[in-house]
Amino acid sequence: MDYGKFKYEAAVKAREARRNQANTEIKEMRFRLKIDEHDYETKKGHVIRFLKGGDKVKVTIMFRGREQSRPEMGRRLLMKLAAELEEYGVVENAPSQEGRNMSLVLGPLKKKAEAKEEQRKARDAAKVAATAEREERAAAKAAKKPSGE
């Protein structure tokens, strides 16, 4: 076998492997202890989006003033969030206090590459459906138009 050909094929394989590789990022979402219900739901939606995208999420609760004397309330809020997000991710690091902050790390159920592939398939299916709908409307419009013009 030709050594140059072997070297070229190895380089092609390495390039292909790099292209299919997906790096998992750690996204962070910050909460305050006295968060309102609507704000909590909005931030929870962002965390769900990150987990569906295949990224890890570090959820941090920031304590201020007298809130620091009530770490159990922060732990309760983090565990409530983790329980609500069981279908999207798993708890990788239990809640831990780091100075004025308490954090929890959630990991996605799917790998980043799998999540990207699934999102690409859903996007392609939506494009096909939109194209079919557009063609159907055009056909209906052409059928409605009088043929004498």
- Over residues 5-41, the pLDDT tens digits come to 999 999 999 988 887 776 777 999 999 989 999 999 9
What pTM was computed for the model?
0.65
Residue 95 CA: distances (Å) to CA of 36, 43, 60, 65:
21, 18, 9, 20
Residue 9 lies in a domain: no
- Over residues 77-131, the pLDDT tens digits come to 999 999 999 999 899 988 989 889 999 999 998 777 777 778 888 888 889 888 9
The residue segments making up the domain with residue 31 are: 23-109
Residue 85 lies in a domain: yes
**Per-residue pLDDT, 147:** 62
Residue 102 lies in a domain: yes
CATH number of the domain within which 27 lies: 3.30.110.10
Residues 6+ apart with CB under 8 A from 51: 57, 85, 88, 89, 106, 108, 109
Residue 31 lies in a domain: yes
CA separation for the pair 62, 33 (Å, rounded): 7
